[in-house]
Amino acid sequence: MTGKLTVVGLGPGSPEQITPEALSAVAEATDFFGYGPYVDRLDLRPEQRRHASDNREEISRAAAALTLAVQGEKVCVVSGGDPGVFAMAAAVCEAMESGPAEWRNIEFAIVPSVTAMLAVAAKAGAPLGHDFCAISLSDNLKPWDVIKKRLIAAAQAGFVMAFYNPVSKARPHQLGQAFDILRTHLPGTVPVIFGRAAGRPDERINVVPLSEAHSDMADMATCIIVGSTETRLINREGQRPLVYSPRSWMAGKA
């Protein structure tokens, strides 16, 4: 008997940002795998089983979920935000590619959701209105030298950048280094948005110029958006400024 594996995105934190498609996938499943706090967000029936695990155990979690799906269960693997952005959908694909053939033959679906950078961008204005890229600053899965090269290339190419995984206890210094690198390639006036816990009760959005951006302003629940030379502020009385990137790039600028 073959079951089903669905990788479901739960959005950035607000229950209102969970899609109806994600809710139906959750309602249909019997077994739930994911990082503890994400599995805890689910409102499950008594017969639905939780298999919570630590944040770093992505491949073993994917393997356990695939094993149960092959046994005929309806399995859900949950991610915060979108499951395809620095999250479980790719981990499950990695396990499927290298695992037993039966893992590749199950019914498999990925349910998308709102990723952190979109939730933060919407709170700040429209900083992703022109070309942008997303970079994970974690060097757990790639060398820091590669990250540095990508920061420089993105700054030189005029991309707005969204940073995921900006700092952790094990990596306290890299975000400061990233800002130092960017300050040598971009004007200090470029707006930087620190969006923490977007969509959750403890949400905090701060906007500072690149010249004042500091690693203390972020933690692991923060997604940072660094503007381009075109990104600008609209000041408003008694409200946070709107940050936006116009849709067109001024001719002659690189």
| Binds ligand SAH (CB under 6 A): choice among 92, 178, 198, 225 | 198
Question: According to CB under 6 A, which residues from 3 to 22 bind ligand SAH?
Answer: 12-13
Closer to ligand SAH at the Cβ: 73 or 164? 164
Name the minimum Å distance from CB 103 to ligand SAH.
Answer: 22
Name the minimum Å distance from CB 61 to ligand SAH.
Answer: 14
- 174 counts as binding ligand SAH under rule CB under 6 A: no
- 197 counts as binding ligand SAH under rule CB under 6 A: yes
β-pair type (74-79, 204-209):
unpaired
Name the minimum Å distance from CB 43 to ligand SAH.
Answer: 19
Question: Buried b vs exposed e over 172-191: b needs ≥16 C-beta within 10 Å?
Answer: eebbeebbebbeeebeeebb
Name the minimum Å distance from CB 163 to ligand SAH.
Answer: 7
- 79 counts as binding ligand SAH under rule CB under 6 A: yes
- 120 counts as binding ligand SAH under rule CB under 6 A: yes
Question: Residue 178 region, left (φ>0) first, then alpha (ψ -120 to 50), else beta?
Answer: alpha
In which residue are the tokens 């094993």 written?
Answer: 67
- 165 counts as binding ligand SAH under rule CB under 6 A: yes
Closer to ligand SAH at the Cβ: 165 or 174? 165
- Helix, strand, or coil here: 77? strand
- 228 counts as binding ligand SAH under rule CB under 6 A: no
Three-state DSSP string of 112-148: CCCCHHHHHHHHHEECCCCCEEEEECCCCCCCHHHHH
Q: Count residues near ligand SAH (CB under 6 A).
A: 26
Cβ-proximal residue to ligand SAH, closest one = 81
Dihedral sign computed on CA atoms, order 34, 37, 43, 47: positive
Structure token pair of residue 152: 């420089």
* Residues 26/42, Cβ–Cβ less than 8 Å: yes
- 227 counts as binding ligand SAH under rule CB under 6 A: no
Torsion angle of C-alpha atoms 191, 196, 197, 200, degrees rounded to 10: -70
- Residue of 137, 136, 128, 114 lying closest to 159 (CA atoms): 128
Give the binding range for ligand SAH (CB under 6 A) out of 61-69, 111-119, 143-151, 186-194. Answer: 111-119
Question: Buried b vs exposed e over 210-244: b needs ≥16 C-beta within 10 Å?
Answer: beebebebbeebbbbbbbbbbbbbeeeeeeeeebb
The 81-110 contact track toward ligand SAH, x by CB under 6 A, reads xx--xxx-----------------------
Closer to ligand SAH at the Cβ: 128 or 198? 198
Residues within the interface to ligand SAH (CB under 6 A)? 12-13, 79-82, 85-87, 115-116, 119-120, 164-166, 195-200, 220-223
